[in-house]
Amino acid sequence: MMNVLITEDDPLHRSYLRDAITHALPELDHIYEADDGDVAIELVSAHQIDSVVMDLQMKRTNGVEAAREIWRFAPETRILFWSNYSGEAYVRGVSRIVPKGAVYGYLIKSASEESLELAVRGVFLQDQCIVDREVRGIQLRTENVLEGLTDAEYEVLYDIALGMTDSSIAAMRNMSTRGVQSRLKHLYDKLVIEGKETEQGMAPLYNSRTRAVAVALSRGLLNIEGLAARQVELDLWLEKTP
């Protein structure tokens, strides 16, 4: 028995996926549909669904959160992420939740219908991990210890994007101010943030923190979902702080 779940909040995209999957998988028994990550979790837990096409950005529970929960109770589930986004924040978010040995794929929505059908068969029938070329390039960069950000550096990037000072970051992360500054130094080095000065030896041309956030945004290292989640974390900490 082969059951596939389409998780996509756009009705037109769901219809397109249904047609492509039906054509790609003549072996298919049933297609389920969900317009939100929470619904997807409920369907996978209630039915024998072994394969999921998962949109990443949805209005309520996003694809990363839904996939993490599905893999928690059904780690053998094959998931093909299908997204408009190939930014580093999205790619990193997916890479961090994939269980060891899990079969998954990551395809950009602009890919051809033929590519989509090949990815569906490759991931769902042949247990192949199929990742879009553009996405794979970003994966390799994030995995490179000299270029990719560590979890600590990624954490402090979001902290400064929220406008936090060195002392407030230190207090929330239970570390010294010097430790925060060390993380920032490593972050600036990897983002190639230099304190350039004018020929007259005047002050730096830009603020390193602001410049780091700007570079991170241009590279797709930050996204609105991540910022919203970190803001919630910050608000909870502030509530507990006397």
Last residue of a domain, one of 96, 124, 143: 143
Q: Which domain holds residue 130?
A: 3-143
46 plus 96 within the same structural domain:
yes
**Strand pairing category for 104-108 and 78-83:** parallel
Mind listing the pLDDT tens digit for each residue in 146-203?
A: 456 777 888 899 899 999 999 999 999 999 999 999 999 988 888 877 655 555 555 6
CA angle 95, 101, 102 (to 5 degrees): 60
Give the residue from 95, 114, 143 where a domain finishes. Answer: 143
Give the list of residues 6+ apart from residue 123 with CB closer than 8 angstroms, or none: 51, 78, 79, 80, 103, 104, 105, 129, 130
Q: How far apart are CA 171 and CA 166, in angstroms?
A: 9
Same-domain check for residues 138 and 34: yes
- Asked if 111 and 132 count as a contact pair (C-beta separation under 8 A), the reply is yes
Both 184 and 116 in one domain: the answer is no
Query: Does residue 128 sit in helix, strand or coil?
Result: coil
Average pLDDT over the chain, rounded to whole?
A: 85
Domain co-membership, 15 together with 120? yes
CATH code where residue 14 lies: 3.40.50.2300
Look up the CATH number of the domain holding residue 206: 1.10.10
Domain total of the chain: 2
* SS3 assignment, position 163: coil
What is the average per-residue pLDDT within 27-48? Answer: 94
Question: Would you state the pLDDT for residue 230?
Answer: 83
The predicted model scores a pTM of 0.68
Q: Are residues 39 and 109 in the same domain?
A: yes
How many helices and strands (H and E) does the chain possess? 11, 6
- Split at pLDDT 50, 70, 90, the class of 99 is confident
Indicate whether 137 and 184 sit together in one domain: no
Domain stop point among 83, 110, 143: 143
Q: 93 and 199 share a domain?
A: no
Same structural domain, 102 and 191: no
CA–CA separation, 45 vs 211, rounded Å? 45
pLDDT at 241: 82
160 and 231 both lie in a single domain: yes
Same domain, 102 and 181: no
Instruction: Give pLDDT, residue 145.
Output: 47
Q: Which tens digits make up the pLDDT trace of 193-240?
A: 765 555 555 566 778 899 889 988 887 788 777 787 788 888 888 988
- Same domain (yes/no): 15, 95: yes
* Same structural domain, 75 and 94: yes
**182 vs 241, residue with greater confidence:** 182
